[in-house]
Amino acid sequence: MKNLYTSFFALLLGASVLAQTNTIKGFSKEAAAKQLALETQFDANLSAANIGNTIKELSVKPHHLGSQGGKEVIDNIYNKLVSYGFEAKKVDYKVLFPTPKTRVLEMTSPTVFKALLKEPALKEDLTSGQTDQLPSYNAWSADGDVTAQLVFVNYGLPADYETLERLGIDVKGKIVIAKYGRSWRGIKPKVAQEHGAIGCIIYSDPRDDGYYQGDVYPKGPFKNEFGVQRGSIMDMVIYPGDPLTPNIGATENAERISSHNNAPNLLKIPVLPISYHDAIPLLQALEGPVAPDGWRGALPFTYHIGPGKSTVHLKLAFEWNMVTCTDVIATIKGTQFPDEWVIRGNHHDAWVNGADDPISGQAALLEEAKAIGALLKTGWKPKRSLVYCAWDGEEPGLIGSTEWVEDNAKELQQKAVVYINSDGNERGFLDAGGSHALEPFMTEIAASITDPQTNISLLERAKAQAIINAGSVKAKKDAMAKTTLDLEALGSGSDFSSFLQHLGIPALNLGFGGEGGGGEYHSIYDSYDNYRRFKDPSFAYGVALSKTAGHAALRMAEAEVLPFDFRNLTITIQGYVKELMLITDNMRDETKTDNEIIKSNKYALATDTALHMSAPKPKSEVPFVDFSPIQNALAALQVSTDSLSIRWSAETITSSNLNSFNTGIFKAEQQLLLPKGLPRRSWYKHAIYAPGYYTGYGVKTLPGIREAIEQRNWKEAKDQIAAAAAAINQLSAYLNGIR
């Protein structure tokens, strides 16, 4: 056995060089040959037509959390997985889920206008006229009945309120109207509420999501004037999942927060999403200053900030029901390591019919399961357990996955090797994010799967895109020279969040996109008719996703040595630290210069007096920050990871210590958890990855440090440097112990 390991441990290094050969990271030459044959068999069982059928079948009815359509989808998925040979179960949680009973938005003066709040049925879209569709709303809006002047706040980001302040416009006691985009939607009402607004309207501007982008539905895929983006505004950067049961599973008898009014991740103001059709009269009635250049959209009039003579009435009331949230969990028990779980998941609930989001990803997952079922029939069984999951309640707040993860936290931290997520999937380029120790692993997979349109590897196509999109000659050259896949850091927005950020389980998020651009997202027009015309007409990218995620799952299940490489993580964190040091230096320089400019009155002198725009306020000067604790920790981590890789390449691993190596390695990322979690949001425990407090889905890497710097909280920056350094030191020590 020993020699065998020697030969492939040498191969563990430099995956990129080997990508096109018949070697696989973590497999001996012999095992790799078997694995490649297995993957060929697996691929042969994937059918684009079948993926198309599944998408059609599962999107035939609206199937949001708690709905009749949802029950049918759950049963359908359960039955499929059982039929493929999986040991499946439905896991129920009892969760809060508000649905609208009253939605009124009207303008009472200067003109009378009542918002339509309705997407019309289209003859070109078979499911668009169905009943049982959830109307357009933002889940977790507060109940409310408010009447006030309206103020346009651009994208509703903190910087936009700085501009408003300079213009002397206060949103206190007012209703704000914000454009979708530039941040996750929930940030907009949160920041509005922080500034004293009593209501928030979010609309899709055709500049970002409509005719400016391309022909509108049904002529083309982009948002027509009536389309509305539904969506959750739960403040899930505090914690996701059922708002009443943070940190624990929302089981029947779980201890709950007494009322949604007391849930710390729910807002207090009414919030409603509307179409640009409905936004036009509201925006046109605004007076006050002309909106700055970056604020203006593509509607055919001059954007003003407001307020004006117009008064807006927003009345929203919701049924705050407890509903059943059902995950389908299906397992193929591993033959050698049944307690090492390779988990693969995609949600099944949609806002409406959800052909793209989530069914296109769910259909690919089910196709993988079908192909694995076919492998099982040949007598093959995985070494490690394969756990295929279909999550409920993702749309309102990652509920199904979060509750399951919270419910099974201890077991998962013992057994979960990796969590592989997907979600909506479209024609285009491989988009891969996740734990950076898996970067070489994903590079190898991306290099070994062929893009359906161009007949080159996914890796080569992603590289071509990076080259063409590079903004400078230097960036182009760098992109040309690059041979590995850039794994993106993960923020939030899909079901990987609780695995990675709450438990420290290595995660991947995989999907294709970039060529299916459209405006159907979270609207009634996310339908099969739309999908087959515009998103992935041949369903070839469904197959590509099945191959990518399926090979990832199979390789993780079958690897002799688990293909983590923490040297990539080290390099990645080193990059983040360098970036933060640069950001801090630049902030210091910029603050000093800006303060001088402000103090010397240059703003007043340079600004058109007719604009009545005051200067920005001076900011506190930026001190020099001691990054040495994290620099030293990273230096140690580099020694540890280099040493670990040398131990691997040396003849130190034998069949007797292979197990301890593997379990050691897959649990390593948990060492990066912060005992206290992040400031003001202890649910988030990962020291390296978190969704941004003011960006939402968008990731903040080294979040504790980065957000302290962004908020100019230097005491906290220091504490968070220490906390992250401690986590990194803990990882180093842990890796040193892997034998």
**Where do contacts with a copy of itself occur on this chain (CB under 8 A)?**
206, 211-216, 220, 222, 290, 296, 298-302, 427-428, 453-454, 456, 460-461, 463-465, 467-469, 473, 476-477, 480, 514-515, 586, 589-590, 593-594, 596-597, 601-610
With respect to a copy of itself, which residue has the nearer C-beta, 50 or 360?
360
223 and 678 Cβ atoms separated by less than 8 Å: no
How near is the Cβ of 597 to a copy of itself at its closest, in Å?
Answer: 6
The residue type at 735? L
How near is the Cβ of 185 to a copy of itself at its closest, in Å?
Answer: 23
Burial class (CB in 10 A: 0-12, 13-18, 19+), 598: middle
384 and 341 Cβ atoms separated by less than 8 Å: yes
How near is the Cβ of 739 to a copy of itself at its closest, in Å?
Answer: 45
With respect to a copy of itself, which residue has the nearer C-beta, 112 or 606?
606
With respect to a copy of itself, which residue has the nearer C-beta, 174 or 461?
461
Give the β-pairing of 699-701 and 689-691: antiparallel
How near is the Cβ of 736 to a copy of itself at its closest, in Å?
Answer: 43
Could you tell me which residues come within 8 angstroms of residue 200 by beta carbon, excluding any fewer than 6 positions away? 156, 175, 176, 177, 178, 188, 189, 192, 193, 269, 270, 271, 272
At what angle are helices 703-710 and 566-599 packed, to 10 degrees? 10
Give the β-pairing of 113-114 and 428-434: unpaired
How near is the Cβ of 427 to a copy of itself at its closest, in Å?
Answer: 8
With respect to a copy of itself, which residue has the nearer C-beta, 216 or 416?
216
How near is the Cβ of 614 to a copy of itself at its closest, in Å?
Answer: 13
How near is the Cβ of 257 to a copy of itself at its closest, in Å?
Answer: 46
The two three-digit tokens of residue 442, written as one number = 């994903």
The closest alpha carbon to 409, from 593, 246, 282, 219, belongs to 246
Give the β-pairing of 231-232 and 689-691: unpaired
Rounded distance, CA 732 to CA 739, Å?
13
With respect to a copy of itself, which residue has the nearer C-beta, 338 or 517?
517
How near is the Cβ of 431 to a copy of itself at its closest, in Å?
Answer: 14
The closest alpha carbon to 724, from 639, 631, 642, 623, belongs to 631
Could you tell me which residues come within 8 angstroms of residue 222 by beta carbon, excluding any fewer than 6 positions away? 209, 210, 211, 213, 214, 215, 216, 517, 518, 519
With respect to a copy of itself, which residue has the nearer C-beta, 29 or 602?
602
With respect to a copy of itself, which residue has the nearer C-beta, 133 or 457?
457
205 and 295 Cβ atoms separated by less than 8 Å: no
Could you tell me which residues come within 8 angstroms of residue 141 by beta carbon, excluding any fewer than 6 positions away? 98, 189, 233, 267, 269, 270, 271, 272, 316, 318
With respect to a copy of itself, which residue has the nearer C-beta, 17 or 290?
290
Cα 691 to Cα 671, 701, 726, distances in angstroms? 19, 8, 21
The residue type at 142? A
With respect to a copy of itself, which residue has the nearer C-beta, 205 or 565?
205
How near is the Cβ of 336 to a copy of itself at its closest, in Å?
Answer: 40
Half-sphere exposure of 401 (CA within 13 A, CB side): 35
574-583 contacts: CB < 8 A, separation 24 or more?
Answer: 574/634, 574/638, 576/688, 576/701, 576/702, 576/706, 577/627, 577/630, 577/631, 577/634, 577/702, 580/627, 580/702, 580/705, 580/706, 580/709, 581/625, 581/627, 583/706, 583/709
How near is the Cβ of 231 to a copy of itself at its closest, in Å?
Answer: 25
How near is the Cβ of 304 to a copy of itself at its closest, in Å?
Answer: 8
395 and 75 Cβ atoms separated by less than 8 Å: no
3-state secondary structure 27-70: CCHHHHHHHHHHHHHHHHCCCHHHHHHHHHHHCCCCCCCCCHHH
713 and 691 Cβ atoms separated by less than 8 Å: no
With respect to a copy of itself, which residue has the nearer C-beta, 75 or 301?
301
With respect to a copy of itself, which residue has the nearer C-beta, 454 or 632?
454
The residue type at 406? E
How near is the Cβ of 621 to a copy of itself at its closest, in Å?
Answer: 14
Give the bridge partners for 151, in sequence order: 176
How near is the Cβ of 477 to a copy of itself at its closest, in Å?
Answer: 6
With respect to a copy of itself, which residue has the nearer C-beta, 249 or 452?
452
How near is the Cβ of 608 to a copy of itself at its closest, in Å?
Answer: 4
With respect to a copy of itself, which residue has the nearer C-beta, 537 or 737?
537
| Length of the chain (residues) | 739
With respect to a copy of itself, which residue has the nearer C-beta, 221 or 679?
221
